[in-house]
């Protein structure tokens, strides 16, 4: 039986994914070709991995001899400096890290859950494991995973962990040069047992509310790990993507024609947003989409993952203009939520644990907007249609809850009025009607009431002259009793 997505996750809407570790030491990825989508639209997979825009991929890029990272490394670190030296440097800075400060910052930004990367593809472990890694240097000297869990949960947020199971460059020493290399990754020797022991340990230590199996897991673990997780965390959310191809499949796909076909299909899939309701490759609960803009409402809950910039890890060379602005972030959250999704926003702390101004500023704008408009986001469900436009062409996103519809206008109107030309008020979510029900229209954040009227098939809202629009204006249409109470807490989910 398929595990149902828990209500806490559907209500949460906004999470933070933390990318912090050894790559924060060199903090470099090439940026001259743009972000992931820009590169993929213009180049093939081999060019993409040679010029990978994500600083988290530093070790893999370093192994590609003609890559910008390889040239950068030689220039700044004098020939080949072992990656283990970066690991030691990271551990030297760990005593200064403040998990409580992170938790405060994420809570203030509006996050309802936080996911910590326990192990990324470079194999560095951010908890004191009893399962020794290939290199003794590849373990954090503090329990980053555990300390952050305590700080996050103390503030009432849910906590999760992300673990790279299929890729680990401490055991896979040949560089990934194309997308086929990811799907055909080998898991030599006892590596599957190593992954299983880590995940069992993490599940037991953290009881993670979200278990994110980044890149998937070795083929033999595709059933045992989900089973172990469900037995430990009844209302948890399991996420996964790839799983290792079987031996025969690897033999076929590993041929030159097979590799070209596989690389082309993966590249196309990365550029396209998945179809509504499509299940992930790994038996998880929630499909994830990274970077391609969502284009349609999904039938089932899903998650949109992207960084504030082009790189999920901190890249000191990334141009300031490549980061999302506060307006971008507000609009992105409204768009994702209107289409039945959660936004998992990746933040990239520097080596000392701080966020650069280009990341702090949009988070602060989002926090201010949510302080006034939170009821249009948290705990809502998609309406019968997710989007529309105003009469003057501004995009609109719709969310709903019991007896209430929210119209989120993504922009500033040219006049002191907002006209929704095709808004059927009869379709607003409503429980059983009573004689004393009253229909109310208000603009969130505005103390005084607004005047409004129906015009044709639409609705016109008149704004007072003193109104100062924010990043997104929210108009609430609600049924209330005469006493001002909600008519009912009942809400029929339309998806």
Distance, CA of 334 to CA of 243 (rounded, Å): 32
What element of type H or E holds 102?
helix 99-109
164-to-118, 328, 368 alpha-carbon distances in Å: 8, 29, 34
- Contact between 110 and 366 under an 8 Å Cβ cutoff? The reply is yes
Same fold, 7-376 and 381-480: no
Which two tokens mark 145?
């995973």
d(CA 65, CA 13) in angstroms, rounded, equals 42
- Output the tens digit of pLDDT for each of the chain's 495 residues: 467 899 999 999 999 999 999 999 999 999 999 998 899 889 999 999 999 999 999 999 999 989 999 999 999 998 767 899 999 999 999 999 999 999 999 999 999 999 999 999 999 999 999 998 878 889 999 999 999 999 999 999 999 999 999 999 999 999 999 988 887 888 888 999 999 999 999 999 999 999 999 988 888 888 899 899 999 999 999 987 555 566 655 556 667 777 777 777 777 777 765 443 344 344 578 888 887 766 677 888 999 999 999 999 999 999 989 999 999 999 999 999 999 999 999 999 999 999 999 999 999 999 999 999 999 999 999 999 999 999 999 999 999 998 999 999 999 998 899 999 989 888 887 776 666 678 899 999 998 889 999 988 899 999 998 888 889 999 999 987 655 544 443 343 343
Closest CA to 34 of 17, 20, 47: 47
Rounded to the nearest 10 degrees, the angle between the axes of helix 357-373 and helix 326-338 is: 50
Q: Which residues, at least 6 apart from 298, have a Cβ–Cβ distance to it below 8 Å?
A: 276, 277, 287, 339, 340, 341, 495
- How far, in Å, CA of 98 to CA of 94, rounded? 9
Q: How far apart are CA 16 and CA 110, in angstroms?
A: 9
Rounded distance between C-alpha atoms, residue 175 and residue 171, angstroms:
11
pLDDT at 276: 37
Tell me the pairing of strands 14-18 and 341-347: parallel
Sign, Cα dihedral of 29, 33, 37, 42: negative
Q: Provide the whole-model pTM.
A: 0.92
Q: What's the rounded Cα separation, in Å, for the pair 236 and 115?
A: 13
Task: Give the burial class of 125: count Cβ atoms within 10 A of its Cβ; 0-12 exposed, 13-18 middle, 19 or more buried.
Answer: buried
Q: What is the pLDDT of residue 488?
A: 40
pLDDT of residue 208: 98
Q: Identify whether the C-beta of residue 392 lies closer than 8 Å to the C-beta of residue 412.
A: no
- Can you give the pLDDT at residue 81? 74
- Enumerate the domain spans of the chain: 7-376, 381-480
Cβ(223)–Cβ(215) below 8 Å: no
Q: What is the pLDDT of residue 408?
A: 98
What pLDDT shows up at residue 495? 39
**What's residue 404's pLDDT?**
94
Q: Which is nearest to 178 in space by CA: 267, 255, 118?
A: 267
**DSSP assignment string, 299-363:** SS-EEEEEESSS-SS--TTS-GGGSPPHHHHHHHHHHHHHTTEEEEEEE---TTSPPPHHHHHHH
Task: Tell me the backbone φ, ψ of residue 489, rounded to 5 degrees.
Answer: -90, 0
Angle at 304 between CA 354 and CA 470, to 5 degrees: 70
- ∠ CA 306-51-290, nearest 5°, is 15
Contact 472, 334 (CB under 8 A): yes
> What CA–CA distance (Å, rounded) separates 14 from 411?
21
DSSP string, 261-284: HHHHHHHHHHHSPPPTTPPPSSS-
Q: Note whether 346 and 212 are within 8 A (CB).
A: no
Give pLDDT, residue 161.
98
Which residues make Cβ contacts (< 8 Å) with residue 236, sequence separation at least 6? 6, 207, 208, 209, 210, 211, 229, 230
CATH class of 7-376: alpha beta
Helix (H, G, I), strand (E, B) or coil at 94: helix
CATH number of 381-480: 2.60.40.1180
């Amino acid at each position: 039986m398929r595990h149902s997505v828990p209500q806490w996750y559907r209500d949460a809407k906004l999470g933070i994914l933390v990318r912090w570790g050894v790559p924060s030491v060199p903090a470099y990825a090439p940026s001259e070709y743009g972000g992931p989508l820009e590169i993929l639209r213009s180049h093939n997979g081999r060019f993409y991995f040679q010029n990978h825009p994500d600083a988290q991929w530093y070790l893999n890029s370093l192994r590609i001899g003609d890559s910008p990272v390889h040239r950068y490394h030689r220039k700044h670190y004098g020939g080949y400096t072992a990656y283990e030296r970066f690991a030691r440097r990271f551990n030297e800075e760990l005593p200064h890290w403040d998990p409580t400060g992170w938790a405060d910052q994420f809570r203030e930004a509006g996050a309802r859950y936080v996911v910590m990367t326990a192990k990324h593809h470079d194999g560095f472990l951010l908890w004191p494991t009893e399962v020794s890694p290939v290199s003794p240097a590849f373990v954090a000297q503090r329990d980053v995973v555990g300390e952050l869990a305590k700080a996050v949960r103390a503030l009432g947020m849910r906590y999760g962990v992300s673990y790279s199971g299929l890729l680990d460059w401490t055991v896979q020493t040949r560089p990934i040069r194309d997308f086929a290399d990811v799907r055909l990754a080998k898991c030599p020797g006892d590596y599957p047992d190593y992954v299983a022991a880590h995940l069992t340990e993490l599940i037991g230590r953290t009881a993670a509310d979200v278990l994110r199996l980044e890149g998937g897991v070795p083929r033999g673990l595709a059933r045992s790990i989900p089973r172990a997780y469900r037995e430990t965390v009844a209302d948890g959310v399991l996420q996964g993507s790839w799983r290792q191809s079987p031996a025969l499949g690897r033999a076929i796909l590993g041929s030159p024609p097979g590799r070209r076909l596989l690389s082309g299909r993966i590249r196309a899939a990365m550029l396209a947003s998945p179809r509504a309701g499509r299940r992930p490759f790994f038996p998880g609960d929630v499909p994830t989409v990274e970077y391609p803009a969502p284009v349609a409402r999904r039938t089932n809950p899903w998650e949109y993952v992207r960084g504030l910039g082009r790189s999920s890890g901190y890249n000191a060379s990334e141009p300031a203009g490549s980061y999302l602005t506060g307006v971008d972030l507000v609009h992105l959250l409204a768009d994702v939520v209107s289409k039945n999704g959660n936004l998992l926003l990746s933040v990239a702390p520097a080596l000392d644990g701080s966020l650069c101004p280009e990341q702090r500023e949009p988070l602060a704008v989002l926090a201010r907007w949510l302080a006034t408009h939170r009821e249009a986001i948290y705990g809502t469900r998609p309406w019968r249609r997710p989007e529309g436009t105003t009469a003057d062409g501004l995009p609109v996103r719709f969310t709903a809850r019991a007896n209430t519809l929210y119209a989120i206008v993504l922009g500033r109107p040219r006049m002191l009025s907002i006209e929704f030309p095709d808004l059927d008020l009869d379709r607003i979510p409503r429980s059983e009607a009573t004689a004393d029900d009253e229909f109310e229209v208000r603009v969130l954040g505005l103390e005084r009431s607004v005047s409004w009227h129906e015009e044709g098939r639409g609705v016109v809202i008149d704004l007072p002259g003193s109104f100062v629009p924010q990043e997104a204006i929210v108009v609430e249409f609600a049924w209330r009793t005469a006493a001002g109470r909600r008519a009912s807490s009942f809400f029929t989910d339309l998806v």
